[in-house]
Amino acid sequence: MVDRRTVLAGALMLPVAARAERWDAIVDPRTGTLGKALEQAAQAGGRPFRILVRAGILVEKLTVTVPNVTIAGDGYGAILSYGTYAGMQHADGGIWGTGRTATLTIAAPGVTLRNLTIRNSFDFIGAKRDGAGNGAQAVALMIRAEADRTRVADCQIEGYQDTLYIQSRSWLSGCRILGGVDFIFGGGAAWIEGCEIVTRFVPGADTSGYIAAPSTPAAQPFGLVFHVCRLNREPGVPKRSTWLGRPWRAGGNMALTGQAVFVQCVMDAHIKREGWTWMGYKGPDGEQRRLTPQEARLFEIGSRGPGAGPTSPTRRMLSAGEVANFTRTNVLDDWDGLAG
């Protein structure tokens, strides 16, 4: 017998075959909101709570604050979009900083995202053209330090500057991540596998930016690890215009020596031969300094394609013995459900 329970998600009321589909809430962007479904999840007391999002655009800025929530879309056509950027004025009179700009923020453990598009819709190109904004940082997805064990599968994550901010253990697979400036960044330990990393075209830009900007604590053995990924570019992005990344010493914190590693990745011709570059920071004495690739932990091994480059002081290769340590189990510290 079909279970005819009715599931409420905002204004949406749909009959759900709960046993067959196992959704606790279904959101139709035409009539409901993901925010309402997350309010339901908050009432579930931390038990696993599954939300299905139908195709369409949800213009919402949200934070997941309860654990063990799964948000799954019908596909990339299930779009969560918002346009906040760093430097804009908040309704309370304050100024938005990078960490508050995210379209979707994960702030609880055990959250899973699948088959979604998560987009920061800020007009980066228009702001650059008009001299507006401050750069401008505009995060699509932020995974905060308290979010431990975030799983992101088969999602499209769209932005330009600071697209994906990772501050805790995260496992991403089969995703498409788009950006230009430091667009995969943060101090979390992340295993990023089988993803397409796309550098975006910005008219008139001197360079096409930096892929990774790790701020990994020196005491933390692993940072941003890209495994069997594809580094591609939008039409118009020139050859040899994009850095693999640069180490971010956030706030001048001397305990941060960013780690990022590309393992067996295919790189298009937009990647610079030098690979990595420095990033500036203000030291404890207030003087402006540079954190160089040689001081940080930036490596690769087994790169293929026209963007693969020779070993150099700024483009260092792991040995076979060193790369053996870079497994999903090691990077993610063998969290429960790792094989799922």
Among residues 194, 167, 165, 159, the alpha carbon closest in space to that of 83 is found at 159
Amino acid, single-letter form, for residue 217: P
Q: Do the beta carbons of residue 278 and residue 250 sit within 8 Å?
A: no
Q: Check the CA dihedral 54-55-59-65 and report its sign.
A: positive
| End-to-end Cα distance, the chain | 30
CB 24 within 8 A of CB 41: yes
> Catalytic: 182?
yes
The one catalytic residue in 28, 148, 182, 268 is: 182
How far apart, in whole angstroms, are the C-alpha atoms of residue 132 and residue 130?
A: 5
CB-based burial, 266-304: b 16+ in 10 Å, e otherwise: bbbebbbeebbbbbebeeeeeeebebbbeebbbbbbebe
User: CA 135 to CA 126: how far, in whole Å?
Assistant: 11
Residue 206 annotated as catalytic: no
What positions carry a catalytic annotation?
Answer: 162, 182
